[in-house]
Structure formats: structure tokens, C-alpha cells
Amino acid sequence: MQLKGKEIKVVVIGAGIGGLTVAALLARKGFSVSVLESQTYPGGCAATFEHNGYRFDAGATVGCGFHKKGPLALLGEELCISWPIVSCPAAWDFIHGDRVIRLSHSRQEVLREFPGSISFWEEQGRLASFLWSLATEALPWPPSGMDELGALFRKTFRKAPVLSPMLPFANKTALQWLASYGLDTDSDFVRFIDAQLLISVQTTAQYANAVNAVIALDLPSKGTHRLTGGIGSVAEKLAAAVGDYGGRVLYGRAVQSLEYNGRRVLSATTADGACYPADIVVANLTPDSLACLFGENDSPAARIKKGPAPEWSAFVLYLGVEESAFNERPISHVQIIRESGDLGEGNSIFVSVSPSDDSLRAPEGFRAVTVSTHSRPEPWFEARAAGKEVYSKRKESYTTRVMSLLSQHFNGMEQKVRMVSAATPVTWERYTGRRQGYVGGYPQTSLFNVRGPGTPVRNLFLTSDSVFPGQSLPGVVTGARRVAELVERRFG
Ligand SMILES: Cc1cc2nc3c(=O)[nH]c(=O)nc-3n(C[C@H](O)[C@H](O)[C@H](O)COP(=O)(O)OP(=O)(O)OC[C@H]3O[C@@H](n4cnc5c(N)ncnc54)[C@H](O)[C@@H]3O)c2cc1C
């Protein structure tokens, strides 16, 4: 791809799923692409890292979007990537007190536990199939200019029959939607829905937008996959594709500043002082982290920050566990919810266990386990500011709290744990460069207060779970595809 006879240089900051997807798609189109990644491995929140002989999934663990015509399946076809996936017979077990529900393609157990919800799920399934078909279009929402407005019109015009059934839901909350079926007063059902929504749209039914909830609640029934070697294989495959199409991914290159001439970004400079000239910069960052790369007097910084604010970070335990601990419950993922109390902060945990047949993940006879719970970042940073002792005490108390909930449902777990390591919001900030360790994008409460990839600077774009349609592998890939289309339309 050439600009006035010269190749067009694209610098992508960050080798998360968003950055790598844009990089691979643009490299395939002939742009000259360099990805600068601060860590020594790709993937960010969806990385798999090595520690003490284990390969732990850092954050994301459930492979979503690989189903037929799903965003990752389509991306794989386009980039000629063969994903190392194995289809899971069930997505995860939901445990709340004595209630155990296996979430699977058929929803059989959900309907058994909540027989009054059949009509609700019928409507959810119908609407979700409309939404998945829209996801393949990578709708340019909200449009970032006249060109995207035209593209939005063309794409939605074709899909008008698909969009019209969604309109009554656009301004509803998920709880109002449940109320239309009389389900909002069934506290067990609401807790079940809240638990699903918190992990997928970062908020509960009272606040979640109904359209976002439709697709979030569909993930188990669409079918999930596991990745051989861990979820990080997705990023590894994408990084390899960038190389195959003539681009490069450079590790250990933390971008510290962007040089800006009042109109456009000229280059990115890394911590080692190297300068990477750019015609186009794509930031796989949160808006706050991107704003930090501008000088104090540069005007874009404040404007970049506008938009929906993130709320959550995560507390995560990485455990090396004897495999006999899982004999009674042989499933890869379990969501455990305490009887009462607000979700998150150790009251709800998501447990992911490496498969017994994946020898890449753990020494023989052991499993690599990731246990996560939503946690607000502010108290963690206050604890760190108060000193090492305060911070360590908080970390120990969260570790104990999470381990006790885990042990209630896995007999003898505490005796079978051989290795424990913990990540707090402070750790997330250090490893992903996401300021304050905010992960999981923004709470999906509105379809209208969302951020697109455009910025106040014409040649600078954002791609990440901070950008519509938000978090998860399929969400981020859908958003990234739209960025690649936008760049190509404007500069190709
Ligand atoms: C605990 C947890 C569980 C989750 N579970 C799931 C799940 O099961 N399934 C699912 O689909 N999704 C899940 N998600 C969400 C999913 O992981 C994210 O939405 C997605 O991975 C975010 O991708 P991203 O493109 O926004 O980039 P990020 O993952 O944020 O990656 C950004 C990259 O940029 C790099 N970087 C940052 N600053 C700089 C800089 N200055 N210079 C150079 N490089 C830099 C970082 O090192 C990182 O590699 C989970 C997330 C978390 C935190």
C-alpha cells in the first residue's frame, strides 16, 4: 500500500487481540505494519504466561466466537489461520448454594431449574441470531465521520429486517426485559442472570442494556472452545500471521510518547529511545493509557478520555493443583457464587482448569488453574500507597477469601494446591499497561454512550475492549475489523 509513491507505515501500539487483529488485516492489505509490544509475549488480557513449569491463562480463559460464522472463525478464514481449538461439550457450571446448572448449547439444565423462563429464552435466542449476523458486518457504530456514516447506512439498510426487532430493546435495561416476563421478582433467576452479565458486560441486570444482554447470554449456547496451549495461542497465531503478511511484531518495546505536530501523530518513541515514524498509529490501549502518551500541552489527551468510564479490575489467583482435586467435577470452567452479598470482590469467582490432555499447560499429574473475581481498583492502589505491609495484607485476605469459596466446592483443594500466585489491579496495570488496572472494557449500560475508534487526531485510532462493541475475544475482534476497514477506506 503506497502514499504518494511511498509505502504507508502503520505503527500499532500493543499486541493484545485488538492490536494484532488490526495489524494482521492491514499487513494482508499491503500496509507496512510494525507492532510495538512492551511485554515479551503477545495477548495482554488474553495472554498465556509461563511460571514454575505451568502455562497460566492470565485473564481470558473461555474461547468464544469460534462457532460457525463467529467473529474468530471468519477472521481465521480471512487470515488463513487454523486455530488450535477443541469444542467443549458444555461452557461452564454455575453454582449458587446447592443449585448447580450446566450451561450448554441446549440450555436443558437452565430450563429445568427455571421452567418459567422458557419464553424469555426463546426470545433471547431469536434476537441473538440477529445480532450475531450483525457482528459479521463490523458495524461502524458510533460513526466517526461522514465516510463511516455512509458505510453504516449501507450496512444497516441491507440489514433493516434484522435491526427492526431490536429497536424496542435499545433503551431497555436487562431487568426491564426480565420484568416483561415476570422474572424480575425471582431472586434466584436474577442472581443467575446477574452473574452471567457481570462477566460478559461488566454490570448487572439493573444497569445492563438489554441488547448487550441478549448477546452476552448467548455465549454458552453458541458453544465455547478451548485452545490447545492456552488462550494465548490466539494471540500467538495472530502475531505469526502479521509476520506471514510481511509485518513485524517487536517485543520488549514499551511506547512512552507520541510525537504530535498539532495535526497528526508523526512517530512513536519507545522506552529504549528508538523512534518509529508512522503515517498511521493504531493504539491497542485504553483511552486513559493513550492520553498519557501525549505531552502535557497537547490538546488531544483530554478529548481522548471522553466516553464511558471503566469500573472494574480483577483479582486473580494462579494455582498449580494436583489433578485429583478435579475428579468429582471434570469440567474446564466453573462459576461459583456466594449465597448472598454483592457480586465480585471474592463473592463470585470464575474457575478455569487446564485440560487433562493438554501437556503443554502443566507438569504431569497437575493442572494450571486460573481463578478470577471482579475487584474495584481504587482500594488496591490506596493500599499500595499506604505501604508494602498494607498491600500484602490485602492480597493475603483476598487470597484466603477466594480459596475458601473454592474449597467449599472442590473437596480437599487446600491440601492439593502446590503453587499459588496472585494478580491484583496493580499487577494488571504493570503487565497490560492499562492505567489503574482497569480490565474488561466498560460496563455496557447504553448503546449510545459508547466510544468509536476515531480520535481527535486524524491518523490516530483506538482498538481495544474500550471501543464498541466492547470486551471479549469476539467483541474485540469485531471492533478491530472495523478499524482495519476505516484505515483502508481513509488511507488505502
Ligand atoms: C480476568 C479476565 C477474564 C476474562 N475472561 C474472558 C473470557 O473468558 N473470554 C473472553 O473472550 N474474554 C475474556 N476477557 C476479556 C478479554 O480478555 C479482553 O476483552 C481482551 O483480551 C482485551 O483485548 P485488547 O485488544 O483490548 O487488549 P489488551 O489485552 O489490553 O492488550 C493490550 C496490549 O498492549 C500492550 N501495551 C500496553 N501499553 C503499551 C505501551 N505503552 N507500549 C507497548 N505495548 C503496550 C500490553 O502489554 C498488551 O499486550 C477477560 C478479561 C479478564 C481481565
What is the Å distance from ligand 1's center to 17 Cα? 7
One digit per residue, pLDDT tens: the chain, 492 residues?
666 667 999 999 999 999 999 999 999 999 999 999 999 999 999 999 999 999 999 999 999 999 999 999 999 999 999 999 999 999 999 999 999 999 999 999 999 999 999 999 999 999 998 888 887 778 899 998 888 898 888 888 877 777 788 888 999 999 999 999 999 999 999 999 999 999 999 999 999 999 999 999 999 999 999 999 999 999 999 999 999 999 999 999 999 999 999 999 999 999 999 999 999 999 999 999 999 999 877 778 888 878 899 999 999 999 999 999 999 888 899 999 998 889 999 999 999 999 999 999 999 999 999 999 999 999 999 999 999 999 999 999 999 999 999 999 998 898 999 999 999 999 999 999 999 999 999 999 999 999 999 999 999 999 999 999 999 999 999 999 999 999 999 987
Residue 469 has a CB neighbour count (10 Å cut-off) of 27
Q: How far is CA 378 from CA 68, 314, 316, 435, 442, in A?
A: 40, 12, 16, 11, 16
Which residue has the CA at smallest separation from atom 47 of ligand 1? 432
Q: Which of 17, 45, 293, 350 to mutate to test the pocket of ligand 1 (most atoms within 8 A of CB)?
A: 45
In the chain the domains, ranked by start, together with CATH numbers, are: 2-84+228-306+442-491 (3.50.50.60)
For residue 162, the model assigns a pLDDT of: 73
Q: Which of 197, 442, 472 to mutate to test the pocket of ligand 1 (most atoms within 8 A of CB)?
A: 472
Which residue has the CA at smallest separation from atom 53 of ligand 1? 59
What is the Å distance from ligand 1's center to 223 Cα? 22
φ/ψ region of 424 (left if φ > 0, alpha if ψ in -120 to 50, else beta) reads beta
pTM of this structure? 0.96
Residue 103 has a CB neighbour count (10 Å cut-off) of 23
Q: Is the CB of 15 under 6 A from ligand 1?
A: yes
For residue 138, the model assigns a pLDDT of: 80
Bridge-based pairing of strands 280-283 and 225-227 is unpaired
Q: Is the CB of 472 under 6 A from ligand 1?
A: yes
Is the separation of the CB atoms in 244 and 253 below 8 Å? no
For residue 2, the model assigns a pLDDT of: 64
List the beta bridge partners of residue 332.
Answer: none
Reported in sequence order, the residue ranges of 323-410 that DSSP labels E, i.e. its strands, are 333-337, 348-353, 366-375
Which residue has the CA at smallest separation from atom 16 of ligand 1? 472
Q: Is the CB of 44 under 6 A from ligand 1?
A: yes
Which residue has the CA at smallest separation from atom 24 of ligand 1? 464
- Return the C-alpha cell found at 143: 460513526
Helices 473-491 + 146-158 axis angle, to 10: 120
List the beta bridge partners of residue 461.
Answer: 282, 454
Q: Is the CB of 336 under 6 A from ligand 1?
A: no
Q: Is the CB of 483 under 6 A from ligand 1?
A: no
DSSP state, 279? S
Q: Relative to the CA of 464, which ligand 1 atom is closest?
A: 26
What is the Å distance from ligand 1's center to 342 Cα? 25
Is the separation of the CB atoms in 5 and 463 below 8 Å? no
What is the Å distance from ligand 1's center to 435 Cα? 12
Rounded distance between C-alpha atoms, residue 99 and residue 124, angstroms = 23
Is the separation of the CB atoms in 189 and 117 below 8 Å? yes
What Rg do the C-alpha atoms of the chain give, in angstroms? 22
What is the Å distance from ligand 1's center to 384 Cα? 23
In the chain, the N- to C-terminal Cα span, in Å, equals 6
Reply yes or no: is the peptide bond before residue 277 cis, omega within 30 of 0. Answer: no
